[in-house]
Amino acid sequence: MIRFFGQPKYSTANDTLGYEFFIRQYHQGNWVFPQNFNQFSAQQIRDLAIASIKALPKNVALVSINLDQS
Gap between the Cα atoms of 13 and 11, Å rounded: 5
64 pLDDT above the threshold of 80: yes
Q: What share of the chain is helix, strand, coil (3-state, %, to 5)?
A: 25, 45, 35
pLDDT of residue 61: 84
Give pLDDT tens digits for 9-38: 887 887 888 999 999 999 999 999 998 888
Gap between the Cα atoms of 64 and 22, Å rounded: 9
- Nearest one of 34, 28, 39, 38 to 3, comparing CA atoms: 34
Amino acid letter for position 56? L
pTM: 0.77
Neighbouring-strand partners of residue 63: 19
Give pLDDT tens digits for 43-61: 999 999 999 999 998 888 8
